[in-house]
Amino acid sequence: MIITVKDLVKRYGTLTALDHLDLEVHEGEIFGLLGPNGSGKTTAINCILALLKFDQGTIEVFGQPMAPDAYDLKRNIGVVMQNVAVFDELTVQDNIDYFCGLYVSDRIKRRALVDEAIDFVGLQDFRRFYPKKLSGGLLRRLNIACGIAHKPRLIIMDEPTVAVDPQSRNNILEGIRQLNRNGATVLYTSHYMEEVELICSRINILDKGKVIASGTKEQLKAQIDIGERVTVESPGLGEVLLGQLKVRPHVASVTYDGTWLAVRFARGQNGLVDLLDFLKTEGATLGRVHTELPTLNDVFLELTGKELRD
């Protein structure tokens, strides 16, 4: 086991940020940690890295107790935080060399690692640039290079694709998968559900400092009582028809904006044919039709609610 967290409690005065949290990250996986704002994700990461003291519980990394002075463990950890943390006074190459030098003292070995990291994130043409001259996507890639240049066994990534364009996001996600294929275990947090669904082999959802759901994306989808969503272009539907539709068997929810009708069915039910037959029988005008199985975003909202979080 790469990370084992048991019965972890962290309080800030009367606020309980982590409420008897249990967490396990297996070697070789990309582990997704999801949760709304204030759920405890960043607090958990800071505790795992021994950057925060906690009130109760135990944390092991690589099978050994984690502590602020556990430098032998920390040498095998790479961290890529949400806020870009590089030095404006240093070039791309010098930034990577500095952070790699915190773990690797041999200059010849470090030079090779820096070159490899620059190639890995695609910054070959920018090695002499200063951070202020880089776009947001390039800065994110520099941030990743600084965190992974020393080839850590465990890489912790907290929102690494915030505020980047689709091309940069795709480049970063493919880089994460390559790191994993090369042997690194990745702990990944993000607010982008499609990213987590795409790259993570196992996922935990946190809320109010607790794990409220855990498993593969398929296992998580099986935990909620919603199924296929069918969207039909059908202008001019009346309230009576919509009312009849809402009480039909296996219909979980119905929304209508005057043109597009969206019907969510209960888990395990395929209602497309029945819905179209019903609309045709009622004389409704039918246009384009889309069907969609539940997504990780549906699971997240179903489990954590749709209320806005601070």
| Residue 81 within a domain | yes
- pTM for the model stands at 0.85
Domain stop point among 165, 191, 216: 216
Q: Does 241 lie in the same domain as 161?
A: no
Q: Does 90 lie in the same domain as 210?
A: yes
* Tens digit of each residue's pLDDT (9 = 90 or more) over 53-83: 999 999 999 999 999 999 999 999 999 988 8
**Beta partners for 253?**
264
Angle at Cα 169 formed by Cα 87 and Cα 216, nearest 5°?
115
* Tens digit of each residue's pLDDT (9 = 90 or more) over 107-129: 999 999 999 999 999 999 999 99
Can you tell me the mean pLDDT for 170-198? 92
* Tens digit of each residue's pLDDT (9 = 90 or more) over 15-58: 999 999 999 999 999 999 998 888 999 999 999 999 999 999 99
| Residue 310 within a domain | no
Residues 119/175, Cβ–Cβ less than 8 Å: no
Q: Does 84 lie in the same domain as 13?
A: yes
Where does residue 306 rank: exposed (0-12), middle (13-18), buried (19+ CB within 10 A)? Answer: exposed
Residue 50 belongs to domain with CATH number: 3.40.50.300
| Residue 224 within a domain | no
Number of domains in the chain: 2
Q: What is the CA radius of gyration of the chain?
A: 24
Domain span holding position 257: 229-293
Spatial distance between the Cα atoms of 299 and 278, rounded to a whole number of angstroms = 28
